[in-house]
Copies of this chain bind each other. A is one copy, B any other.
């Protein structure tokens, strides 16, 4: 069940065919999900661009998190590897695994790997993610994006409901913008769906997890086929936060709200000599892309929530899903 199936359409724009980040041609998403025994609830998600390097940018809304590789992204304006997302204690293993697979014999690699904290449902300190899981995620990479309790999103919690992976997209003037989130942030009391204070309306009708309500983060990845330069990608990345704000996020102090954006609109950037011929979307055309990022982010978070199912894990902790029927009922009444 996705937001659109409930009649929720954020903003006025139309979606891409899949309403997913993979509407950007050549972008694939793969998951490796680890659900083992009573306490392992984690995984790895990879966002695979059609080629590297590509122009890219980033934004830090709140930095209580990790997204490796950003110094090189800021310096070079380039995404030079696929992107990984996992749990807080496994960033390193995923990062090294991507480094190992992507580099030539005499080259180095500075992978972009992010995380959110799944320690409420997952025995995060067991550090069960390995390079094998990273390979599985790549092997599973596909244009069809599975949402909810999968990959890096397996054990995540969002606005005190079960969270996880979500995606959405918008068509913009012959181009497409897609957003993928690993949503693990937020308080229920501020949760809104297209402006409706659903969190307040639900209150305790759905049990809240016992963890500290602020403990969480959100990683947002934006892709577009519009030919954006690096500084334009930065601008898109910052707009992810505006979408989160509309859902009710506050970029809480314990949250790692880190956003990344890349453009497939210019290729062949690996050339080491001479000059490259590029295209650039004029700044006068970029406004609708901001709307698209904001709206797609809001919808991606809702998709994550709606796809996620109630999960019990470590220490018997349970995070309850936002049931689509309940949401539909509340929106009808508002």
Q: Which residues of B contact A61 (CB under 8 A)?
A: 238
Q: How far is the CA of A103 from the CA of B285 in the complex (A)?
A: 21
Q: Mark A77-100, 1 if CB is under 8 A from B, else 0.
A: 100000000001111111111011
Interface residue? A12 (CB, 8 A): yes
Q: Which residues of B contact A121 (CB under 8 A)?
A: none
Q: Which residues of B contact A287 (CB under 8 A)?
A: 214, 250, 252-254
- Least CB separation from A195: chain B residue: B195
B271 near A275: Cβ-Cβ < 8 Å: no
- Least CB separation from A254: chain B residue: B287
B283 near A76: Cβ-Cβ < 8 Å: yes
> Which of the four size classes fits the interface of chain A?
35 or more
A280 CB to nearest B CB, Å: 5
Q: How far is the CA of A70 from the CA of B64 in the complex (A)?
A: 10
B256 near A71: Cβ-Cβ < 8 Å: yes
Q: Which residues of B contact A254 (CB under 8 A)?
A: 287
Known contacts: A60-B75, A63-B74, A276-B282. The answer to whether A251 contacts B238 by CB under 8 A is yes
Q: Mark A219-256, 1 if CB is under 8 A from B, else 0.
A: 00000000101110001001101111110011111101
A96 near B90: Cβ-Cβ < 8 Å: yes
Q: How far is the CA of A266 from the CA of B108 in the complex (A)?
A: 31
Q: How far is the CA of A281 from the CA of B109 in the complex (A)?
A: 22
B12 near A189: Cβ-Cβ < 8 Å: yes
Q: How far is the CA of A294 from the CA of B99 in the complex (A)?
A: 33
Q: Which residues of B contact A117 (CB under 8 A)?
A: 108
5 examples of A-B residue contacts, CB within 8 angstroms: A92-B93, A241-B241, A242-B250, A250-B294, A274-B285
